[in-house]
Amino acid sequence: MKGIENLIRTLSMSSKMNSSSWSRRPRAGSRRPSHVLLNVDAVVGIHRNRTTATTFNSNGVLIEPPTPVFHRDDVGLLPHPDGRYTVASLMDIGRDDVYELQLYHSDTETWTSRQVSVEPPQWDPLPKRIPKYCGALLRHYTSAVVTIGGEGGTMAWVDLWRSILLCDVLRPDPSLRGVPIPLPLTQMSLNDGLGVKLDFAGHSRGISFNRDKGCLTLVHLERNESPPPFHAATRGLGGQDVQVLDWEVTTWSNSKMSDSLEDWHKERSVQASNITIDDPAAVSRMLEDFRLLRRPPPRQEHIDDEAAAATAAAQAQQQLELHNLSMCQPVLCPNGKDDVVYLVAREKYLHPKAWCLAVDMKNQGTLKHVANIGNQDHPFCHRIYCLSRLSKYTNPKMRLIKSSATDPGN
């Protein structure tokens, strides 16, 4: 793991930071990272500016990016037990059976590029008939990269709507193996069987590898909305009100990772309307303070004042329960031990304020924590947060670096 710190050393870059804050290269041979990646919007390149960071290896030599530069959704990081690491990117070259694999090896400090083919049998995860508006299911579009590891250095490029491409990137002659994913059957059945145009898969699904159990774990968020969506990515943009009636979170596991859908086993399913609140006094009060819970006042038997009656009726219509929140971006707990799913919650669809909720999937679901993550415009094509584990090699004595245009020296 020590080698990874050299990769992330100068990647902790916020678009609000001044470029002069990054004028100093990391000290060659340093054993502690001076910075930790906290902002996924950082871009790695040759030249520094307000939104681009450069990164160096342990000897202070610039890690040159590959050509062409990969998209951030295509790249993953494979740590080695001895401290080395491999950066791997799988690029779409316009074919369903061949991709381009780009690798950076920290020991040689070089990039390699080669074409890799999908091994037979050429599995097909799709039914014979694809709904009219679900054309995104016809091809693999990577939306997540998962590091599995092992002797061959297995990595998974995941299209969260349809399939996984596995590759042993450390093998001398790597190839791709296809693994199907449970299809979004509800979205495929809407609009009288015509389906809906699928939005960014990360809004409804997440995936991780549980190292303790040796299996992939998939989480799916199902929303019951009125009216039902026609185009999932742009619903609500025309000003129409989208009412959430309920939502459900389901998890699956897969330890075999073969070309069969039968390898996936449903683990848990939680309906929002059945979720209980852990520590009701504290968590419920926080939800009410955030206006994520709005309950009507006690009902009065007789209200003579017409204005008071109208106010009471309006308050009753504005009530909001946990299962009425607009939810997206389910993410599994990164330690692989806790059955906890994190989700982004909003008062209503496209509302600017967002919160992060932690739901324990055991015993029909328990809301454990809620945290305000501030004003976040709805991300139609990316995630607004990312869970991770902090490396044990991180220096706990390092202070948080603050920087601004008026104080470039911090």
- Per-residue pLDDT of the chain (410 residues), as tens digits, is 433 333 333 333 333 333 333 333 334 444 444 444 444 444 444 455 544 555 566 666 666 666 666 777 899 999 998 889 999 999 999 888 999 999 999 999 889 999 999 987 666 667 778 999 999 999 999 999 999 999 999 999 999 999 999 999 999 999 999 999 999 999 999 888 999 888 889 999 999 999 889 999 999 999 998 877 665 545 545 445 778 899 999 999 999 999 999 999 999 999 999 999 888 777 878 888 877 876 655 555 555 566 555 555 444 445 678 999 999 999 998 776 678 999 999 888 778 888 899 999 998 899 999 988 877 666 666 677 777 766 665 665 665 555 444 444 33
Per-residue model confidence (pLDDT) at position 199: 83
CA atoms 229, 234, 240, 245: torsion sign = positive
Task: Characterize the bridge pairing of strands 340-346 and 276-277.
Answer: unpaired
> Hunting for tokens 């400090």 — which residue is that?
109
CA distance linking residue 299 with residue 188, whole number of Å = 42
> Hunting for tokens 């950066």 — which residue is that?
87
Looking at residue 101, its amino acid is L
| DSSP symbol at 138 | G
Looking at residue 37, its amino acid is L
Per DSSP, which regions of 154-241 are E strands?
154-159, 163-168, 176-180, 205-210, 215-226
Per-residue model confidence (pLDDT) at position 54: 52
pTM, two decimals, is 0.76
In the chain, DSSP finds a helix count (H) and a strand count (E) of 4, 19
Per-residue model confidence (pLDDT) at position 294: 65
> Cβ(43)–Cβ(59) under 8 Å?
no
CA distance linking residue 179 with residue 170, whole number of Å = 20
User: Each residue of 128-187: pLDDT tens digit?
Assistant: 789 999 999 999 999 999 999 999 999 999 999 999 999 999 999 999 999 999 999 999
SS3 call for 91: strand
Per-residue model confidence (pLDDT) at position 128: 79
Q: List 165's β-bridge partners, or say none.
A: 157, 178
CA distance linking residue 40 with residue 118, whole number of Å = 30
CA distance linking residue 342 with residue 1, whole number of Å = 26
Per-residue model confidence (pLDDT) at position 20: 36
Token duo for residue 169:
């990137």
Name, in order, each residue with C-beta under 8 angstroms of 95's C-beta and a sequence gap of 6 or more: none
Token duo for residue 167:
């590759």
To 5 degrees, how large is the angle CA 158–CA 162–CA 166?
35
